[in-house]
Amino acid sequence: MLSFVLLLLLISGAQASYYGVVYSYSVGDFQSGGYPKTDDYRMSFSSCEECDSWFCRGDCSGMPVYLIDESRGEWCQKVHIGSGSSSLNTYSSVNSGPNWIENINGIGLSGFEVHFDLRNRSDINKPGSSPQTTIIPLVRVPSNCQRNINLLVSDPDGDDIRCRYAVYPECDICTPPSVLSLSSSCSLSFSPTNSSNEGPYVVRMRVEDFPRQTITLTDSSGVQEVKTTSDSISSIPIQFVFRVDPAAPSCTEGEYLPRFLPPTPEHGAQISTNDSETLEIIVRAEATQAETTEILISGPAGVTKSSSGSGNFTLTWTPVASDIGLNKTLCFVVQANSSGSVYQSDLRCVLVTAVSHPSTTTPPSTTTTLPTTNNQPTTTTTPPRSSTPNATPDPGPNYVLALDAMISTTLSMETDSATIMNLIKEELKRQGLPSDITLKLLSSRLVGVTTPAP
């Protein structure tokens, strides 16, 4: 942590256009060198060059700094992925940096506090992780339109998550935006306002995790502290810019403000993939009175975006080792232009997870070939049974041997297979299957479904 503080202080005098920060960390299971800790440190400035100056004095070659996204002429967001081992202690750091962009609530010098607690938790018998979330650096809404911004925050330890505005000494001048109200459930609400309130506002929030039962934290010296459900454990910063734009001709979604269309996943959807596979998410949106021009994202390192025409976008994520087993937040908005004005859709966020499937040397005991509705065979396997008398059967994975269903869609299995499988998965979950089922494409026209081990 000391290296980060020194870097911040060394460049604190630089002139820059700051757009905010989101910091989080996660702790893995014990290894020979201790508990591995991964930091996700994402910063936003008016240009990618300023991001590089912040992280590595302008030369980030060979360093774990990745571009998340940029809106040319406005902002750039990059993330530094740090790794190390936790030392079973607590850390706090108040950091100062360059100036915010000019804003209505009169905040100049940026500043944020990072607090994390890496003491051993009695409930999980390891150090805990912070809440996980993200947001794009610039969220905008017309002054005459109601808008709710629902942050999607997850916690690897299952803690209770609460949000609040930052207070001193977590920042220097901590004036919250007068046009937004923030709930403890991490939802920001904007109500129509007059033109005198138009312009950019600085939003500085804290996200904290609280245990759901009384726990004991033990540091490296054996000193213990009790935490109740009223005591926060970690506290991370979320900072971004909220801009109130001139009034729109209409606030009806789908006219000037882009409206999401199927098969775009719903806000809060959980989407999983194997750790060795690439995940594709289809996003579609329309604005009948404006031209949808781009999609803006903030998510895990490795997410890329592409467009196949107005309002048609594909997000692609290839997980890396540090992503495995974690719920990673991926947020996006679609922007549209009309007569020089820019309009954003709602902020939509999903959880993407890379699931590790360890290999086994035990072969399956049986193979069954079943016909499907289109007369093409589907090959499935059943788990092996123990040959030891009276032994507890190996539960193994559970399998759905056949899925007899008729699906009518305009999507193509060749180009939209990931979207079709996500839709099937959500329907199966609604029908009562576990939330962590996985779908696997068996051929160009067939989908196999498996459930995890009980």
CATH number at residue 264: 2.60.40.10
Tokens standing for residue 157: 């330890």
pLDDT tens-digit series, residues 331-342: 999 999 999 999
Cβ–Cβ < 8 Å for 4, 116:
no
Q: How far apart are CA 229 and CA 218, in angstroms?
A: 17
Cis peptide before 263 (omega within 30 of 0): yes
Token pair 């196949």 in the structure block, residue: 308
23-37, 305-319, 393-407: least confidently modelled range: 393-407
Token pair 């998510």 in the structure block, residue: 299
Q: How far apart are CA 18 and CA 137, in angstroms?
A: 9
What values do phi and psi take at 118, rounded to 5? -110, 20
| Domain match, 225 and 91 both | yes
88 or 356, higher pLDDT? 88
Tokens standing for residue 449: 């479904």
Residue 400's pLDDT band (cuts 50, 70, 90): very low
Domain boundary (222, 240, 258) is at 240
**Dihedral sign for Cα atoms in the order 381, 386, 389, 391:** negative
pLDDT recorded at residue 424: 74
Nearest residue to 65 via CA among 97, 274, 76: 76
444 or 212, higher pLDDT? 212
| Domain match, 141 and 171 both | yes
Is the pLDDT confidence value at 311 over 80? yes
| Domain match, 255 and 345 both | yes
| Domain match, 85 and 162 both | yes
| Domain match, 142 and 165 both | yes
| Domain match, 401 and 281 both | no
Torsion of CA 192, 195, 201, 207, to 10 degrees: -10
pLDDT recorded at residue 72: 86
In three-state secondary structure terms, 249 is: coil
| Domain match, 52 and 100 both | yes
pLDDT tens-digit series, residues 238-289: 999 999 999 999 999 999 999 999 999 999 999 999 888 899 999 999 999 9
111, β-bridge pairs:
96
- The amino acid at residue 178 is S
pLDDT tens-digit series, residues 179-230: 999 999 999 999 999 999 999 999 999 999 999 999 999 999 999 999 999 9
Token pair 């979604």 in the structure block, residue: 253
- Rounded average pLDDT over 54-66: 91
Compute the C-alpha angle 296/299/305, nearest 5°: 50
What is the average pLDDT value for the chain, to the nearest integer?
Answer: 83
State the Rg of the chain over Cα. Answer: 24
In three-state secondary structure terms, 38 is: strand
The tally of domains found in the chain comes to 3
Domain boundary (208, 240, 272) is at 240
**What is the residue range of 388's domain?**
366-451
DSSP structure class, residue 193: -
Tokens standing for residue 264: 């775009």
Alpha helices by DSSP H, 63-128 = none
| Domain match, 162 and 132 both | yes
| Domain match, 108 and 50 both | yes
pLDDT recorded at residue 146: 98
| Domain match, 345 and 284 both | yes
DSSP structure class, residue 425: H
Q: What is the pTM of this model?
A: 0.76
Nearest residue to 303 via CA among 312, 316, 294: 316
3-17, 61-75, 142-156, 178-192: least confidently modelled range: 3-17
Q: How far apart are CA 311 and CA 322, in angstroms?
A: 32
pLDDT recorded at residue 171: 85
| Domain match, 26 and 127 both | yes
pLDDT tens-digit series, residues 407-442: 656 665 555 666 666 667 666 766 666 665 666 554
CB neighbour list of residue 381: distance below 8 Å, 6 or more residues apart: 364, 366, 367, 368, 399
| Domain match, 32 and 4 both | yes
Q: How far apart are CA 182 and CA 168, in angstroms?
A: 18
Write the DSSP string, 407-420. Answer: ---SS-HHHHHHHH
Q: How far apart are CA 118 and CA 14, in angstroms?
A: 32
CB neighbour list of residue 127: distance below 8 Å, 6 or more residues apart: 27, 35, 37, 86, 88, 117, 118, 119, 120, 121
CA 207 to each of CA 83, 128, 133, 232: distance values in angstroms, whole numbers, following the listed order: 22, 15, 9, 10
Domain boundary (240, 258, 278) is at 240
